[in-house]
């Protein structure tokens, strides 16, 4: 991916924060979505938002898995939906449990390695859509998606034509500790906990005794939050067990479907030394590691900055996979 940051946005933090708060996400009108509620195998629900723009029945469907505390209103979700519209593709944003504006019912939420959830969601899309299926995961969603692709190995190709992760913490241990330090702790950690803690407390109201409320309220970083809430609710012993077992990086060599991993080298959350290199991935995985872009930023000039550069690059990768498959078939 060839990416050049605007001169007026130097550094990973500015590229991250500007993209989330100030950037332009679409060319004409804002994407609008219609919502479907899907019942999960454990009798809970997830809400899936479908972009309302027109597409042919056999056009590709782009599935966007959001990041930590994200939704279809996130800047990257709107940008991907608009890029899909221009290409004539359908687009859907499934919400991880508790992220659609309504608390889910089960005594669980969502986590970075939730590949079982990814699996049933993608298989349902596969059953109901005639055209090729592309899946992109942003940050946490991308780690879970790559974890799924590694678990499925060659079977992933029966469900999707290609997958991509964008700014994903593929080594959760390295990224988890990085977000708990310095500026990251002051700004990003505080922002995430401001929505995660109230949602966890609502979960405790639903299911009394699920965890210790005082311990949760004392949490000042994601490590502590995950130790009290995320890890035990999802079958992990503690944060260390969760972060190590949920990380996608050790599984990237098993991926057999076309996959793209995009990570900016100045991402404030993800230490560059923790990123996968060629030796860590299978031949099916393409690594794009541009020097700049921030965390799910990639704002592009001219002012005011758009955030379409990254979605357009990812969708270009997807389109090339279908084209290559068609040429191989006809050849």
Gyration radius (Cα) of the chain, Å: 19
Respond yes or no on whether the N-terminal peptide bond of residue 285 is cis (omega within 30° of 0): no
Q: Which residue has the tokens 């990639």?
A: 298
Q: Which residue has the tokens 């505080």?
A: 190
Q: What's the chain's length in residues?
A: 331
Among candidate residues 289, 317, 303, 318, the one with its CA nearest the CA of residue 3: 289
Residue-wise over 280-319: b if at least 16 C-beta within 10 A, else e?
Answer: bbbebbbbbbbebbbbbbbbbeeeebbbbbbbbbbbebbb
Instruction: Name the active-site residue from 66, 251, 295, 306.
Output: 295
How, if at all, do strands 162-166 and 259-262 pair? Answer: parallel
Where does 268-330 have alpha helices with state H? 309-330
Q: Does residue 282 carry a catalytic annotation?
A: no
Among candidate residues 165, 169, 170, the one with its CA nearest the CA of residue 259: 165
Q: Does residue 267 carry a catalytic annotation?
A: yes
Instruction: Name the active-site residue from 72, 112, 139, 175.
Output: 139
Residue 216 CB partners (closer than 8 Å, separation 6+): 197, 200, 201, 204, 225, 228, 229
Q: Does residue 241 carry a catalytic annotation?
A: no
What is the sign, positive or negative, of the torsion defined by CA atoms of 141, 146, 152, 155? positive
Q: How far apart are CA 301 and CA 291, in angstroms?
A: 16
Instruction: Name the active-site residue from 267, 274, 300, 306.
Output: 267
What is the sign, positive or negative, of the torsion defined by CA atoms of 204, 210, 212, 215? negative
Two tokens at 321? Answer: 């996979």
Among candidate residues 41, 247, 44, the one with its CA nearest the CA of residue 144: 247
Positions annotated as catalytic residues are 139, 267, 295
């Amino acid at each position: 991916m060839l990416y050049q940051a605007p001169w007026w946005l130097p550094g990973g933090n500015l590229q991250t924060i500007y993209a989330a708060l100030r950037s332009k996400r679409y060319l004409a009108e804002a994407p609008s979505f219609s919502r479907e509620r899907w019942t999960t195998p454990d009798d809970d629900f997830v809400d899936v938002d479908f972009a309302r723009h027109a597409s042919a029945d056999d056009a590709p469907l782009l599935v966007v898995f959001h990041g930590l505390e994200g939704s279809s209103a996130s800047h990257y979700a709107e940008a991907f939906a608009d890029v899909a519209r221009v290409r004539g593709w359908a687009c859907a944003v499934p919400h991880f449990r508790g992220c659609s504006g309504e608390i889910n019912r089960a005594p669980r939420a969502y986590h970075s390695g939730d590949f079982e959830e990814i699996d049933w969601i993608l298989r349902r899309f596969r059953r109901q859509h005639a055209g090729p299926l592309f899946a992109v995961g942003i940050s946490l969603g991308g780690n879970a998606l790559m974890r799924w692709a590694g678990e499925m190995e060659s079977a992933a190709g029966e469900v999707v034509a290609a997958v991509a992760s964008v700014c994903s913490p593929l080594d959760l241990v390295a990224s988890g500790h990085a977000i708990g330090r310095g500026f990251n702790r002051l700004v990003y950690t505080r922002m995430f906990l401001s929505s995660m803690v109230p949602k966890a407390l609502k979960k405790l109201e639903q299911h009394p005794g699920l965890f210790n409320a005082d311990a949760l309220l004392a949490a000042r970083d994601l490590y502590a939050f995950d130790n009290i809430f995320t890890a035990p609710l999802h079958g992990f012993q503690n944060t260390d067990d969760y972060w190590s077992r949920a990380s996608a990086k050790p599984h990237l060599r098993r991926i057999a479907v076309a996959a793209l991993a995009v990570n900016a080298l100045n991402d404030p959350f993800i230490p560059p030394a923790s990123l996968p290199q060629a030796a860590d991935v299978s031949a099916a995985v393409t690594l794009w590691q541009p020097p700049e872009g921030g965390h799910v930023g990639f704002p592009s000039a001219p002012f005011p900055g758009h955030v379409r550069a990254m979605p357009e690059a990812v969708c270009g990768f997807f389109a090339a996979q279908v084209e290559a498959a068609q040429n191989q078939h006809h050849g």
